[in-house]
Chain A
């Protein structure tokens, strides 16, 4: 038996408790100072409801867009050779590495009416800045690496024999993709989608600059929490935080179930 179990586990639990768990429990303490009707009125006030719709809707669409483009990016990075591939591969992680505030002001300026991209969109009647489209753009930026980095390793590990087997059984390239490759990628794709979605739900820094934070229109839920905090109404802020926490946990649970489901093919239980 190796030494250090008590020390390492003890420290781990102590640290997690101090930094994460005890502070987190304050949320429930604060919520309990509200009566049920107060709580319900807060979490269902019109601005909050609008913000849930906006946050969940744009996050979902952004994750969807990422699932599509992320799959193509991962596919191209794994399967094809082209100039600058290594740099492109490294750059995929930029949204992880670039601070959200920097991403936020950059996207806001790029898509502003006079910005590099905005000036081409404005004549078309498309306004990205201070609109839901802008939020979608920011959330797509944030979520990109999740899909690519979950799909890429699975795609790399796909044995070429599987495709050869399908081909030798008479399947054409399109059938090989739909019937063999895509089903094998599906769990990774779904996991990546859920991760990107979860990240988008809580995103703050990259969104607030481009969103304009117009109540009922472009105010995401974290901004509502922030607004309540600015008014020192901590109980209200906490109530809305509880809604978000619960949805993140449900999503986390979903991801875990998804991973369990993925492993279903791989568990060997010989009967």
Chain B
């Protein structure tokens, strides 16, 4: 176990940022902390770094490789932290930024100048910015700045690397490249890494495991497959991607929506109650004719087919509202739906959660 947080509480005035959070991270893992803004993910990261302290120091603990660091200040915790807006020192060159953590060490543990140079050069190679050492941060692009921030955090050979929204301030294109680069870098150097993000795609693509936070609690933690395929709550399900909501009623192992019963993939545990069924847009099949009895009639409101996937917006004929369907290009060309016509939809995978809450948060 390389990083462990136990039972941490943090409040800012009336706002609860962390509500008894516990988290375990294995050595060498790359873990994403995913959640909407205000869910406490950055606070958790800052607490691990020692930039915040828990409100309940008696009950809570933070351990690095089994060593209790709860009361150790940030300057002695040896956690590498990269800030969302990089926080590079404007008055220092790239080289000096990276060397900073080594230069501020007390004389007894400070490496000799030659070794500092060698280490910075090595890091510059690692971030593929060897010739840019003498530049100032203002002369770099956003992606380059982020890499310098990473190198600076790595220079002190941290026990854990903590990244706050590492790609948050970048363009979509640079973001994707850097994401891949981070994954590669991690496979190369294998330092335990936690990063904060509000982008589910990023978390699912990059991380070994993803922790989903909501209102100061960890809602679910698991591998990307686990949380995508077996979400623990409606919140997780909704947060991980687009979703259609159908209100219906649970009967036996199926859910009745309008007139039609659809089989549930897992037992809901509830019996004969009102429920909300969750269906992903790509888990819906659309046909021209009511083939079986498990179809719902709907009218095509709008189709747009630009890009690799086509989106249909449909309106239920029984007045149950609108929903979205995603089709592949081939499926779309096969079907050739026209606005206004009636089609029949089959819900392939339906999820029902025991909580009876209509979700209306927005991210």
Contacts and interface: CB of A to CB of B under 8 A. Distances in A.
Interface in B158-189: none
Given A171-B75, A265-B90, A265-B91, A166 B104 contact: yes
A25 interface: no
Given A169-B156, A172-B75, A184-B90, A164 B83 contact: yes
B128 interface: no
A159 B83 CA distance: 11
Contact of B139 (A172, A175, A271): A271
A264 B103 CA distance: 24
A37 interface: no
Nearest to B152: A169
A270 B139 contact: yes
Contacts of B85: 159, 161
A42 to B, nearest CB: 45
A166 B79 contact: no
B87 A169 contact: no
A169 B76 CA distance: 8
B105 interface: yes
B136 interface: yes
B262 interface: no
A159 B87 contact: yes
Nearest to A267: B138
Contacts of A161: 83-85, 87
A169 B81 CA distance: 8
Interface in B40-88: 49-51, 73-81, 83-85, 87-88
Interface string A139-172: 0000000000000000000010110111111111
Contacts of B136: 264-265
Contacts of B138: 265-268
B237 to A, nearest CB: 34
B74 A168 contact: yes
B280 to A, nearest CB: 38
Contacts of A179: 100, 103-104
Contact of B91 (A164, A170, A184, A271): A184
Q: In the complex, which range does the number of interface residues on chain A fall in?
A: 20 to 34
Given A175-B104, A266-B138, A268-B139, A168 B90 contact: no
B354 to A, nearest CB: 42
Given A170-B75, A268-B139, A164 B87 contact: yes
Interface string A239-268: 000000000000000000000000011111
B89 interface: yes
B28 interface: no
A58 B351 CA distance: 81
Contacts of A268: 138-139
B141 interface: yes
Contacts of B153: 168-169
Contact of B104 (A170, A186, A266, A270): A170
B36 interface: no
Given A162-B87, A180-B89, A184-B91, A168 B139 contact: no
B38 interface: no
A6 interface: no
A167 B78 CA distance: 10
B133 interface: no
Contacts of B50: 168
A168 B51 contact: yes
Given A161-B83, A268-B138, A270-B141, A169 B90 contact: no
B101 interface: yes
A125 B104 CA distance: 46
B27 to A, nearest CB: 21
Nearest to A187: B91
B141 A168 contact: no
A159 B103 CA distance: 22
Given A161-B83, A269-B139, A167 B89 contact: no
In the A-B complex, list the 10 residue pairs whose CB atoms are closest, starting with the nearest.
A169-B101, A161-B87, A171-B104, A165-B87, A168-B81, A265-B90, A183-B91, A161-B83, A167-B74, A175-B104
Given A162-B87, A167-B75, A267-B138, 18 more contacts: A159-B85, A161-B83, A165-B89, A166-B89, A167-B73, A168-B50, A168-B74, A168-B153, A169-B75, A169-B156, A170-B75, A171-B75, A171-B104, A175-B104, A183-B89, A265-B90, A266-B90, A271-B139
